[in-house]
Structure 1
Amino acid sequence: MTAPLAPVTLHTDQVHARLPELTVIDVRTPGEYASGHLPGALNIPLDRVRRALPELRYVAGRGGVLFVCASGARSENAARLLAGQGVPAATLAGGTGAWAAAGQDLERPAACDTRAGWSMERQVRFTAGALVLVGIALGLLVHPAFQILSAGIAGGLVFSALTDTCGMAAVLGRLPYNRPRAADLDAVLAALRGR
């Protein structure tokens, strides 16, 4: 068995300089991936990375594997998984959010566009705000106990910020309009084998 390695964290300027030599794997859901991803990124959702391990091991020896997600939390988990198997892997600090904030382009292929038309972040902000307003309105008009809904959403947002995860995005990602198509893992694995 190969000795575990430590995953590497790269910043946007480092990734931009090395992008042609890296195999970029976006570990977000297909809906999130369709909303914008790094140029040339392939989509392997985090829960399917383990199945792609042989192919990822292969491409890691041919230039490196960079995992990317929205903020860097899921991609760090994927990089840790590979590094634990002795496969060198890196993650993009701050994810696609940092990439876009640095002025770098995101690909948004028309064939993968979600029917929702809104980014996942925008959907989360809208849903959270709407639920808070509903909780306040029902608390004022019907019964004060409905304000627990607003408190629950506020607590969820604080938890989301502290853990750098988003349960609401995970739930919204399962809605039909956020699922343009399932990730075609077999096609991605074939593309990795061809590199």
Structure 2
Amino acid sequence: MSAPTTVNSHELDQMLTSATPPRVIDVRTPGEFETAHIAGSYNVPLDMLREHRDEIVQHLDQEVVLVCRSGQRATQAEATLREAGLCNVHILDGGITAWEAKGFSVNRGTQRWDLERQVRLVAGSIVLTSVLGSIAAPKLKWVAGAIGGGLTFAALSDTCAMGMMLAKLPYNRGAACDAQTVVSRLVER
């Protein structure tokens, strides 16, 4: 299988103003999407895309550009769509972070912390608490070790169980985002 095709922010901007603009699919959580997203993009969270890929792929007949915070989840989404037979898929290099850094506009809503920042807060808090708590209860140090092991596995496997769990919290859910609504929005265009 060939390497994923990426487009940079300038290329995507040109594609969006062309006669046949691509569908921009943002695979971040609804909460992250509400915070900032590229105008005209569709929010299809990664877990929903994986679960309903065959249904979604039926409505993607033009070029598709996948967006997430930095490119990691978009790469996973690209592999999912390619497995379903979709070949016209690209990834925004550097994600929404690079898009904003290059000065391109986004639609802004309620400000929330990025999922990655939430993972750092939770993991760091658990490690700090367990290390300090190990003064009184020495076995608590193993909790810190387990979190370290989990973070190491997350880096090696390019997945994050803690991030997937945090994405399910009401804070990260944002507006209702279900498969039927997503598909109906894709069909409308």
- TM class, shorter-length: 0.7 to 0.9
Residue number in structure 1 paired with 2:74: 75
> Could you tell me how far apart the structure 2 residues matched to 1:106 and 1:177 are?
21
Q: Does 1:193 align with 2:187?
A: yes
Task: Classify the secondary structure of the residue corresponding to 1:55.
Answer: coil
Q: Is the 8 A contact 2:57 2:86 kept in 1?
A: no
> Could you tell me how far apart the structure 2 residues matched to 1:81 and 1:164 are?
15
Q: Does 1:122 align with 2:117?
A: yes
TM-score, normalised via structure 1 length: 0.77
Residue number in structure 1 paired with 2:22: 22
Residue number in structure 2 paired with 1:47: 47
Aligned pairs (5 A) from 1:10-159: 10-20=7-17, 21-49=21-49, 50=53, 51-56=55-60, 58=61, 60=62, 64-84=63-83, 85-109=85-109, 113=110, 117-140=112-135, 142-159=136-153
Unmatched segments (≥5 aa) in structure 1: none
Q: Which amino acid aligns with 1:12?
A: S
CA RMSD of aligned residues (A): 2.6
Alpha-carbon distance, 1:134 to partner? 0.3
Q: Is the 8 A contact 1:79 1:89 kept in 2?
A: yes
Alpha-carbon distance, 1:173 to partner? 1.6
> Could you tell me how far apart the structure 1 residues matched to 2:48 and 2:172 are?
19
**Identity rate, percent:** 39
May I ask how many residue pairs the two structures share in their alignment?
181
> Could you tell me how far apart the structure 1 residues matched to 2:95 and 2:38 are?
9
- Which of 8, 13, 32 lines up with 2:5 in the alignment? 8
Q: Given the superposition, is the C-alpha separation of residues 94 and 122 from structure 1 closer, same or farther in structure 2, using an over 3 Å criterion?
A: same
Q: Is the 8 A contact 1:6 1:83 kept in 2?
A: no
Alpha-carbon distance, 1:5 to partner? 7.8
Q: Which amino acid aligns with 2:115?
A: M
- Which of 163, 168, 179 lines up with 1:169 in the alignment? 163
Q: Which runs of 4+ in 1 moved over 6 A?
A: none
Alpha-carbon distance, 1:14 to partner? 2.0
Task: Classify the secondary structure of the residue corresponding to 2:108.
Answer: coil
Unmatched segments (≥5 aa) in structure 2: none
TM-score, normalised via structure 2 length: 0.79
> Could you tell me how far apart the structure 2 residues matched to 1:169 and 1:127 are?
10
Q: Which amino acid aligns with 2:153?
A: F
